[in-house]
Structure 1
Amino acid sequence: MPMAIERVGEMRCTVGESPVWHARESALYWTDIPARRIWRWDAASGQASHWELPQMAGCIAMTPDEGWLLAMETGLFRLPRLLPGQPLPATTSVATITRARPDMRFNDGRCDRQGRFWAGTMVLDMSLAAPDGKLYRHDPADGTTVAVRGDLITPNGLAFSPDGRTMYLSDSHPARQTVWAYDYDTDTGTPHGGRLFIDMRQYPGRPDGAAVDADGCYWICGNDAGLVHRFSPDGKLDRSLAVPVAKPAMCAFGGPGLDTLFVTSIRPDHDTNPLAGALFALHPGVRGLEEPTLRP
């Protein structure tokens, strides 16, 4: 019997990304990158709110004071707690990034299990296939923001194993379509021993945003294929779940039992599907992990 898929609310994004479940509020937050918006959906009331941002935000992470860290076009910014019905609070710059070229922004990212923030940059025009993107690590403990890896076209799929000792990273550009796994030093926040984890050219869809479940399996959106794939820790395809849009963008576990898989999506200009850009909820029968908060 096919698994039920629910549409969440009536929202439609141009590029819905970085869904994060806020357990204390029982709410899901995510961004619409080109629209320069951050969204909030309240699970109890079903109400959705959004705020206009000063720049495009590729990814977000929760902070200990109920606020957010945003990776935007020019760097990292702190944002105080968002209150529905209230205007966007003022953002505070945390780190400014020296970009290789002006037409770049941050894309995918999240915190590691120790609360360091990781995010990658990309050139806006993917058709250029420009490998100018970098992967950055921000450590609030010492305030440093450093580039750890370069030669990325469209960094995506960032995730960490349940014990935090494996880091996953993808490049979703059609020229790459690769997911790597790294041994991760949790004391220093240093990835090493990078190796091929998944060659996505063997599977439908490009490797977009990802999540890891409580069993250590890696869920990744198959962009252009309308699928969300689950891979075992040894890189074997376990299952593929269909969604009613061609371009699922990123997935995240949430809900009271962390057993709901939320999936954001993209609405291309040429796509006439009325669900393109919508948010979906799946119930795959497994639990996820609580999203780490940025450490103080």
Structure 2
Amino acid sequence: MTSSSDIQTWEVKEPYLKLHCKLGEGPYYERATNTLRFVDIIQRRLHTVSLEKGPESLVTQQLDTPISVTADIAGVDPRDKILIGAKFGVAVLDRKAASDKKDAYEYVAKFHKMKDNLRLRGNDGAVDPHGRFWLGTMTDFELGPFQSEGSVHMFDGRKDSVVLKEGVTIPNSVSWSPDGKTMYFTHSSAKTIHAYDFSSDASATSPLSNERVFYAHEGPGEPDGHRIDVEGNLWTAVYGESHVLKVSGKTGKVVGEVKLPTQNITCVEFVGTELFITTAGMEEGAGSDREVDYSGGLFRVDVGVEGMPPHEFKLDL
């Protein structure tokens, strides 16, 4: 790490895992087993690696649906079952199913007013402090070009979701400040991370108010997945720019940068003070040979601060 009076800088030279995901996303630290889960949305895969045993321990589960994000379920051993964001909503994945059982999941709730709309799929999301799961929708890859037909949904134990924001193109991460009073939402295609006042009342009809711009990205790329550290700073991957930016939770200004040797940076996850970073693949000729070779890999770097632990989904609220 290097630093100046204005910005901290870290540089990662090579991937921790070189596996060429087409669209690596959704890194999630599974504390119960000291493993990291992450997905390849396009190839419909869930990857799991033991952080004690290292890269050789990688295990992959193949599904028949695009899986975009995962979460632990309160009271459930994650070695048995986890929650996944899938094509039509949220589902419970059986992780002990036979490796050739690609439909080893069961929907618990689907997107409200969407049902089995083939044009759309789930994208990024997270569990809020009340145990509800937030998940955005967007145009599916095979049915592009992307349109502003996506929305942000909240799953709170009902059979269908509650729609809280419409007219989005690429909805990405949602997160909460350490005190739980602010929610952040990344609208990647608008190059904007919004902030909202978040209600402490779990029964509130609308938990969000006072929408405002927290961070507006001015570079050629787009802010992608993000996480919050214990000091309230937001760490956002930037797709197309070879870096992760640390944004001050107090000012909304960039105060740190993690430089990476490939371009399409998709999401981050804290494990202690280490930041694990997923990336997407690059086509031949889209960059240098090194950038292409490292694309789709998983990276790690110690940034000296811990992240906020994720909340668990309350399946039976």
Asked whether the two chains share a fold, i.e. TM above 0.5, the reply is yes
Contact 1:204-1:222 within 8 A present in 2 as well: no
Number of residue-to-residue matches in the alignment: 289
Which letter does structure 2 place at the counterpart of 1:9?
L
- Measured in 1, the distance between the counterparts of 2:200 and 2:104 equals 33
Deviation at 1:154, TM superposition (A): 0.1
Alignment of 1:278 onto 2:278: no
Task: Pick from 65, 70, 80 the counterpart of residue 94 of structure 2.
Answer: 80
Q: What does residue 24 of structure 1 align with?
A: 32
Contact 1:4-1:283 within 8 A present in 2 as well: no
Deviation at 1:63, TM superposition (A): 1.1
Contact 1:82-1:88 within 8 A present in 2 as well: no
- Measured in 1, the distance between the counterparts of 2:132 and 2:209 equals 16
Deviations 1:224-281 (A, max 9, x none): 0001001111311111111111011000101xxx111000000033445210000000
Deviations 1:69-99 (A, max 9, x none): 1111122111134589896683111112243
Aligned-pair identity (%): 26
- Measured in 2, the distance between the counterparts of 1:15 and 1:246 equals 12
Task: Pick from 108, 114, 135 the counterpart of residue 99 of structure 1.
Answer: 114
SS in 2 for 1:128: coil
SS in 2 for 1:8: coil
Deviation at 1:144, TM superposition (A): 5.1
Q: What does residue 162 of structure 1 align with?
A: 178
Structure 2 matches for 1:60-75, cutoff 5 A? 60-64=70-74, 65=76, 66=78, 67-75=81-89
Contact 2:226-2:235 within 8 A present in 1 as well: yes
Q: What does residue 39 of structure 1 align with?
A: 47
From the superposition, tell whether residues 144 and 136 of structure 1 become closer, same or farther in structure 2 (CA, over 3 Å): same
Alignment of 1:90 onto 2:104: yes
Structure 2 matches for 1:173-192, cutoff 5 A? 173=189, 176-188=190-202, 190-192=207-209
Deviation at 1:192, TM superposition (A): 1.2
Which letter does structure 1 place at the counterpart of 2:105?
T
Which letter does structure 2 place at the counterpart of 1:200?
H
Alignment of 1:266 onto 2:280: yes
Q: What does residue 7 of structure 2 align with?
A: none
Which letter does structure 1 place at the counterpart of 2:148?
P
From the superposition, tell whether residues 104 and 220 of structure 1 become closer, same or farther in structure 2 (CA, over 3 Å): same
Deviation at 1:68, TM superposition (A): 1.2
Contact 1:157-1:179 within 8 A present in 2 as well: no
Task: Pick from 271, 289, 293 the counterpart of residue 308 of structure 2.
Answer: 289
SS in 2 for 1:163: coil
Q: What does residue 227 of structure 1 align with?
A: 243
- Unaligned stretches of 5+ residues in structure 2: 3-9
Contact 1:49-1:84 within 8 A present in 2 as well: no
- Measured in 2, the distance between the counterparts of 1:292 and 1:187 equals 16
Which letter does structure 1 place at the counterpart of 2:90?
L
- Measured in 2, the distance between the counterparts of 1:7 and 1:84 equals 30
- Measured in 1, the distance between the counterparts of 2:259 and 2:45 equals 27
TM superposition score normalised by structure 2: 0.84
- Unaligned stretches of 5+ residues in structure 1: none
Task: Pick from 37, 43, 49 the counterpart of residue 59 of structure 2.
Answer: 49
Q: What does residue 214 of structure 2 align with?
A: 197
